[in-house]
Structures are given as structure tokens and as C-alpha cells.
Amino acid sequence: MTAGNAGTTAGKEFVVTRVFDAPRDLVWRAHSESERLAQWWGPKGFRLHSVKLDFRPGGVFHYGMRSPDGHDIWGRIVYREIVAPERIVFVLSFSDQEGRVTRNPWSPIWPLEVLNTLTFTEQRGKTTLTLRGRPINATGEECKDFEAGFASMEQGFGGTYDQLADYLASAV
């Protein structure tokens, strides 16, 4: 299942990989079912307060979360390709409460859109999740800002995946 492929990627690729002690089907459902996604999505310390999920090519995951210091942050994912239970291709952006793309609240030169591919592979009951991302239609300055943010993104996804690991340990 696919939905459009507009946009040119640029800059260095961000990659993060994590192995979960859970079968691929469960890790997939944690990404594709709103009630499961709401229990773990977001950096450690952030609390989701709004989740709208339309999990299909062309569909949107729009979410709002509150930072530990009380700031509301909105984001959206637009799904481009879904190959269950192997791969999800999506565009990630910051957004406003209505789901319109906005700039990163911490960096005015962050790329507006990042194309990500999330792959799920299983071996001996454990699932390896690999996320690869690159800016779309970004300026050179935006690509440099994206690359400068790799350490911060590794920390953010690390906390998010810690929460996913905790969720998977208790999920059925």
C-alpha cells in the first residue's frame, strides 16, 4: 500500500536501531493501533494528551504532547507506504493543534518535513526496529541543522523506545 512520493530527500541520513524482546507482530500493533500507540509514543517525560490515528497510506497520525516544563508540542505523521508487518514509510513534521505543518519550536531552521522509513525484522522472537530519516525539500542550512541534531534525536528516540520496551513488556 503506498500513497504518493513527492519530495526530494537531502543531507545525511539519521539512523537509529533498537532490538525489542517481543515478537514483530506485537511491535507492529504498538505502532498501528491508536490505543497502543498512546501508551508509549513520545520522548521520556512527555505526556500525550491528544492522539488521532488514521493508519493507512495517505492517513495521518496527529498528536499533542506536554513537555516536562508544561509546553504543548504538536506533531504529525503522514503515512506514505505501509507493508504489514515489515515497513512503514512516513513524513514527520511539527504541527499546530489543527495539524498544519509548523516550524520546530526550538529551531527556526529545522526542516519542515523529514521522510522516515521504519523497518521491523524478527529473529528468535525478538524484533529489530530500524528508523532511517532524511529531510525533504530542505535547504542546505536546514540539512546542516538536521545533522547537528542527531545526538538530540538519538536521545529523544532512545527515551521513546525505552517507553516502547516498557509497554511491550506488559502488553498482550
CATH classification at residue 149: 3.30.530.20
Does 118 fall in a domain? yes
Does 1 fall in a domain? no
CA–CA distance, 163 with 157 (Å, rounded to integer): 10
The pLDDT confidence band at residue 6, using thresholds 50, 70 and 90, is low
Does 2 fall in a domain? no
Q: What is the pLDDT of residues 95-122, one digit of tens each?
A: 999 999 999 999 999 999 999 999 999 9
Going along 8-151, which residue ranges are E strands?
14-20, 47-53, 60-66, 72-83, 87-95, 101-102, 114-123, 126-135
Does 6 fall in a domain? no
Q: Beta 47-53 vs 72-83: how paired, if at all? A: unpaired
Q: How many domains does the chain have?
A: 1
What is the reported pTM? Answer: 0.93
Domain hosting residue 161, numbered range: 14-170
Does 91 fall in a domain? yes
Does 21 fall in a domain? yes
Q: How many CB atoms lie within 10 A of CB 135?
A: 25
Q: What is the pLDDT of residues 127-150, one digit of tens each?
A: 999 999 999 999 999 999 999 999
Does 74 fall in a domain? yes
Query: What percent of the chain shows pLDDT beyond 90?
Result: 92
Does 123 fall in a domain? yes
